[in-house]
Structure 1
Amino acid sequence: MDALCPVCGQPMSWISGHFHCDTCQTSYTQTALCPDCQQPLQELKACGAVDYFCQNGHGMISKKRVIFTCSLYSEE
């Protein structure tokens, strides 16, 4: 599954922990949100698997239900 640029719709590359669009020359971070409360999810990684947990009372969230959003990447 390719990550598409929210501006131009072209596929983006994964570079040093963020997405980069070569067409727009813009970088983005991706955030996983809970589908029930729209708050950021905690990402749990183990043995190559990635799971998501809502710390606001909704527990484990299926990858199929996670809402992914893009925001501009800034090096701070």
Structure 2
Amino acid sequence: MSNLCPECQEELSWDGEYLCKKCQKHYKKLVYCPDCNAQMEKLQACGAVSYFCPQCNELKSKSRVRSEFVTN
């Protein structure tokens, strides 16, 4: 999955946060449940990333989640 700037479609760089070098804007990535559309929590352990939906009360595959970038 590419991390593209929502304004200019350039690839975002990562340096502790997402940055579009062309637009000079910082972004954060929000992730939503594919089933109920609630904002999800990111869980990281031992290099693996999972997403938990508090609305559905279950883990969701990262390949199914919907993500968007919002100005930080």
- How high is the TM-score relative to the length of structure 2? 0.89
Tell whether 2:38 aligns with 1:44. Answer: no
Is 2:36–2:56's contact at 8 Å kept on the other side of the alignment? no
**Counterpart AA for 1:27:** H
- Report runs of 4+ in structure 1 exceeding 2 Å deviation: none
Per-residue CA distance 1:12-71 (angstroms, 9 max, x = gap): 11122x211110111110011101121111111111101111111251111111111110
The count of corresponding residues between Structure 1 and Structure 2 is 72
Identity of aligned residues (%): 39
Larger mean CA deviation between 50-59 and 64-73 belongs to 50-59
Residues in 1 aligned to 2:9 and 2:46: alpha-carbon distance in whole angstroms: 32
TM-score normalized with structure 1 length: 0.84
Please give the secondary structure, in 2, of the residue aligned with 1:36.
coil
Deviation at 1:7, TM superposition (A): 0.7
Q: Quote the Cα distance in structure 2 between the aligned partners of 1:2 and 1:36.
A: 22
Equivalent runs, 1:1-76 vs 2, <5 Å: 1-16=1-16, 18-73=17-72
Q: Which runs of 5+ in 2 are unaligned?
A: none
Q: Kindly report the root-mean-square deviation, in angstroms, between the aligned alpha carbons of the 2 structures.
A: 1.3
For residue 2 of structure 1, report the CA deviation from its aligned partner: 3.6
Q: Which 5+ residue runs of structure 1 have no aligned equivalent? A: none
Q: Report if the CA contact (8 A) 2:33-2:60 is conserved.
A: yes
